[in-house]
Structure 1
């Protein structure tokens, strides 16, 4: 089986993309989803967050939620809001966020390649979230949330995507967050075949965002294979929906930390405890780290620049040398006493999209005692962790911009 293949996408009819496009299902809570979908009959939130069409307080994992999603998807097709292409296509997908532009390819990615770790992971998944995505795919008989993949930049692939995107896009939507989403339908047989060949020559792809969706794709594929006595390997369930971008166009923002207390220490003792591993320098301005192993810290209305002593940074361990690991190893665990950030309620995580003011707000309100700003994880670091078959600490990467839901879906025939 090829690493990726074209597929007949289910997508908004002409002029309907702005009505349909929605943020990813997991970047909002139910109240926010209800508000976003208010007055928008065809918003894809009615499929990705169907509990908004049921009474408040409905368990989002209840069977009737998945049934409502299937009903809503069927109605959008029956009413001609969503249409399906008649032949397998690739879809060139461009995201523009301010000055940042990245252009990738929407494709069906191989479950077998994922299972064999040719599509590489860097995070653990949670069973409850995996189960939710499996039930969603089974109810819809379609994959509607794309997995965000990365390929090592390849000149000919990049050139083809650039060339296709010179034409008028089939869909052009600027979302509420001012991110522009453009999609071109690539249905030329020769170009489709060449892209398939070029991707198949690659050693690996990398999951950037969407570990639960890719794991669900694998599980759905396995269960349907087992249930099909005539399984051939060519069925659509052997692939999952993805959008694949070149690694050198990715934008990873910082993923910062806030902690509720100083682990019983007073301010002076806490600051003194840092000096064996860090240079600690007060700053009159908010500190946005300019390089790895440098951190900002906000405490008692004062910013500090923390620079980890160079001999503390390992060179031969792709996980231990990550900034999120260094902060955990030399400050959050030994000084603040937090050894399991996945479960410890004393720590929280703030995406860089909220800026340093978002950290100040959490501390100044009294909700948190101290905040830390980090240098963003680099794409090369993520790939090195995945290549080593390791996993990253929780909340290591915050990718922006996000893909939209609803612009192209993969139906499981």
Structure 2
């Protein structure tokens, strides 16, 4: 029974939203960031990269303080405004491929995260958790929502459809040719219905944003300890989330690339693979697997299909059945010697939006020696992992939609 509540978002004025909204900071190349910072004074990147004003790289606590200063300047210049009443923010994205994502931006409870009513499937790194917690504590806001998913719910869907049949508060198209729509809804009848419908759901699942949610939970605990008059209703007890139904979630695979064969020749490597896989040489024909537990492999100018020999592999839980785990258990660790897939510099990743041509090019140019392709994780697999309290290997999913930063901002 998670608490999913409306909140008073800080957001750009209607005439500035298309200029201000930005992708996540890390998704830009250095050249792209430079261009946007130079040419667009309203970009949210101006807040995230405050050192640009002084043509200097600034990091750590000093950067956090300058981010806060730049954010306050945007508010003082009335680039931002804040809603007078708590709202649910209905959000729709139609991407350039024609995919449509519809959901609700709202405040999710840090207590629900701690009590596993918001379920996880991915491990977090303590250093990153604490770094982002310190950032949030200094700047006092969060501009990038955690992506949560919930079981399809006809009652919630009916409300979403009704709201989205009306004129949106925002409608803007990005240079990526994705079109974004936002409706800010404070109507008491709709708000109360949504609160009730969300409270009737047993649990929601983190699709993307494990570090953001864990950092928010750490911050909430710190603030609770510092506040002698803590009630549980303070804004720091919640974090901004974008909730979408499971049917709207789009999951891509993360393919693996490895530099070197751990001292093995090509022939020795193939012989060791043969113990776990039926191998077929596909020559130069592009091959993408069509079934779970099947993999594609590109090595030395040729594609191979790898079919798991199931009599040699035991599945006892949802994690054992996950293709990224199978690849790690049968190839990456025992044959290629990659024990720590999170930190080993020999392994690289390519999300499924990049095709086999991309993997082939990285191997052909010598950046990597071998590439492995697989099918995406399904929503059901992701939920089973979370329900069983298990953790996927890193980079198991690349999930859409991706919200723009700065369209709705949650202040603590």
Q: After superposition, what is the alpha-carbon deviation per residue over 1:174-232, rounded to whole angstroms, capped at 9, x for unaligned?
A: 22322222211122111111111111111111111111111111111111111211111
Aligned pairs for 1:76-95 within 5 A:
76-95=74-93
Deviations 1:42-84 (A, max 9, x none): 11112234444454443x3x22211111111111111111110
Counterpart mapping for 1:275-354 below 5 A? 275-283=274-282, 284-312=284-312, 314-354=314-354
Alpha carbons 1:287, 1:295 under 8 Å: kept: no
Q: 2:128 maps to which residue?
A: 129
2:153 maps to 1:154: yes
1:30, distance to aligned residue in structure 2 (A) = 5.2
- Residue 74 of structure 1 corresponds to 72
Gaps of 5+ in 1: none
Deviation at 1:90, TM superposition (A): 0.2
Rounded Cα–Cα distance in structure 2 between residues aligned with 1:82 and 1:312: 60
CA separation of 1:56 and 1:280: change in aligned 2, threshold 3 A: farther
Unaligned runs of 5+ in 2: none
| Superposition map of 1:199-238 within 5 A | 199-238=198-237
Deviations 1:368-394 (A, max 9, x none): 100011111111111111111111111
Structure 1 residue 315 displacement after superposition: 4.5
2:396 matches 1:396: yes
Instruction: Answer whether contact 2:2 2:117 (CA < 8 A) is retained.
Output: no
Q: What do the CA deviations read for 1:232-261 (whole angstroms, capped 9, x no partner)?
A: 111111110000111121111110110001
8 A contact 1:179–1:401 mirrored in 2: no
The answer to which of 141-150 and 268-277 deviates more is 268-277
Per-residue CA deviation, residues 336-381 of structure 1 (Å, 9 max, x unaligned), is: 1112111211111111222222211211111110001111111111
Question: Quick one: distance in 1 between partners of 2:138 and 2:30?
Answer: 20
| Change in CA separation of 1:177 and 1:314 when aligned onto 2, cut-off 3 Å | farther
Number of the residue aligned with 2:47: 47
Matched residue of 2:303: which SS?
Answer: strand
Whole-angstrom distance in 2 between the partners of 1:54 and 1:360: 42
The list of structure 1 runs, each at least 4 consecutive aligned residues, that deviate by more than 6 angstroms after superposition, is none
Show CA shifts across 1:133-183 (max 9, x none): 222222221121111111111111122112211222212232232222221
Q: Does the residue aligned with 1:38 lie in a helix, a strand or coil?
A: helix
Which residue in the other structure is 1:103 paired with?
102
Partner in structure 2 of residue 374 of structure 1: 374
SS in 1 for 2:124: coil
Q: Is the 8 A contact 2:137 2:219 kept in 1?
A: yes
RMSD between aligned residues: 1.8
The number of aligned residues is: 410
